[in-house]
Structure 1
Amino acid sequence: MTVNFQYVNTDVSETLSAITTEKLEKLVKKNEFLISAQVYFKHDDKDYNAGKICKIELSLPGPRIFATSNEKNYEMAVNKTISDLEKQLNKRKETYKTF
């Protein structure tokens, strides 16, 4: 699976990219039909309580799956976003099983 990272209003972090790639690889092991992922990390200066935004868009057969989260730090945002994507992928698997 191809993973593309974009950092908006924040510095590029190899560690954050590695953590995210590792978590996405776990999704690929469970869902072999994933093609690629677009990962966006953004810092929102206006949000003082959170402001660390992670958006992930997965490309797979059928409509794309998208999730986003806004947390206190990027690792929490990645975990929340991956969790949301897992739920969506499980629903997608159920629809594939019915056909």
Structure 2
Amino acid sequence: MQIIFEYDEVAQSDRLEAMAKEKLEKLSNKYDMVIRADVFFKEENTSSDETGKICNIRLSLPGPRLFAESSEENFVKSIGESVDNLERQLRKQKEKMNH
């Protein structure tokens, strides 16, 4: 699986990339239909301390693309939430393909 990282007004981080890559590779091993992942990091000014660090992930696979977005207090939580959301979507997609 190919993983592309993009940053929107956020400094590039090897640590974040490694963490996202590890989680996405686990998904890819479990769901071999995943071809590519585009990961976007951006920061948003919000009035809440619990949001503002946004991680968007778009997965390419046969059929429709899957997309998840999460805004949390830090990027680590945002990555986790987005990957969890994508795993739910992949599970549903796989069930549809098996029927």
TM-score tier after normalising by the smaller chain length: over 0.9
1:54 and 1:72 map into 2 onto residues whose CA distance is 11
1:97 and 1:17 map into 2 onto residues whose CA distance is 32
Q: Percent identity?
A: 43
> How many residues get paired?
98
Deviation at 1:46, TM superposition (A): 3.5
Q: Which residue matches 2:63?
A: 62
Deviation at 1:9, TM superposition (A): 1.1
1:86 corresponds to 2:87: yes
Which stretches in structure 2 are left out of the alignment for 5+ residues? none
Q: State the AA in 2 paired with 1:9.
A: E
Q: Which residue matches 2:72?
A: 71
1:87 and 1:45 map into 2 onto residues whose CA distance is 29
Q: Which residue matches 1:24?
A: 24
Q: State the AA in 1 paired with 2:27.
A: L
TM (norm. structure 2) is 0.96
TM (norm. structure 1) is 0.96
Which stretches in structure 1 are left out of the alignment for 5+ residues? none
1:42 and 1:48 map into 2 onto residues whose CA distance is 16
How large is the Cα RMSD of the aligned pairs? 0.8
* SS of 1:3 mapped into structure 2: strand
